[in-house]
Amino acid sequence: MPRFKLTIEYDGRPYVGWQRQTTGPTVQECLEQSVFAFSGERVEVAGAGRTDKGVHATGQVAHIELASEKFDARTVMNAINALIRPEPIAVVAAEVASDDFHARFSAIERRYRYEILNRRAPPALDLGRVWHVATALDEDAMHSAAQRLVGHHDFTSFRATQCQSASPEKTLDQLDIARDGERIVAIARSRSFLHHQVRNMVGTLKLVGEGKWTADDVTAALDARARAAAGPTAPADGLYLTDVIYPES
């Protein structure tokens, strides 16, 4: 049975998340319906990251396995893209994968980007795709404080209360904050993340950017191992899953 690795981008706003559920439309469901439409097969589109409601992706990775051997990777990609319209979802690359490849469990790193539009005027073109913060932010202070979170830690203070991960311990390989004109961009890298971890870290670092917190306050929040000790959860609007890395990469 051929297995295909798919790289996918999507606008997360119309969906209640990646994972199929009964409360509303999902990215996974739309993809599975498109695969059925061209192949006649009911398959599971297994994703590398279960992005939340409103979270976007430029480099989500998924895999499917088809019983029929008549489809090549290019046909799979073109067929999905043709049939998934007008949903804001696109397969940007497809390739044949090995039988033991799994989009989620084979991944060795995930990368997220969070975008803050830091200006007085609200977004017109990027509404729903950035977090609009009108108050001036000090990106250098945010970056310095962010380094307190890099490394292996208990991230209880930065995970959602409903997080189902067996352990709150994660190794954060990178958390960089930089300004690009009116945008402040956070880049986070780790093998895996806790539920809402990136959004909770960004929400906390915003307090530093506003001058309300210091880097020592961020360390104290981390050490407290209590969600209430950290800052607010940043909105889903500005979060993007940008890359999923595998050993062959």
Catalytic residue check, 138 = no
Q: Which of 11, 52, 154, 217 is catalytic?
A: 52
How far apart are alpha carbons 51 and 129 in whole angstroms?
A: 14
Which residues, 6+ apart, have CB-to-CB distance to 76 below 8 Å? 4, 6, 35, 64, 66, 91, 94
Helix, strand, coil % over all residues of the chain, rounded to 5: 25, 30, 45
- The answer to whether 103 touches 48, Cβ cutoff 8 Å, is yes
Cβ neighbours around 230 below 10 Å, total? 24
How far apart are alpha carbons 220 and 230 in whole angstroms?
A: 9
- The rounded Cα 85 to chain-centroid distance in angstroms is 22
Cβ neighbours around 141 below 10 Å, total? 18
Point out the residues that are catalytic. Answer: 52
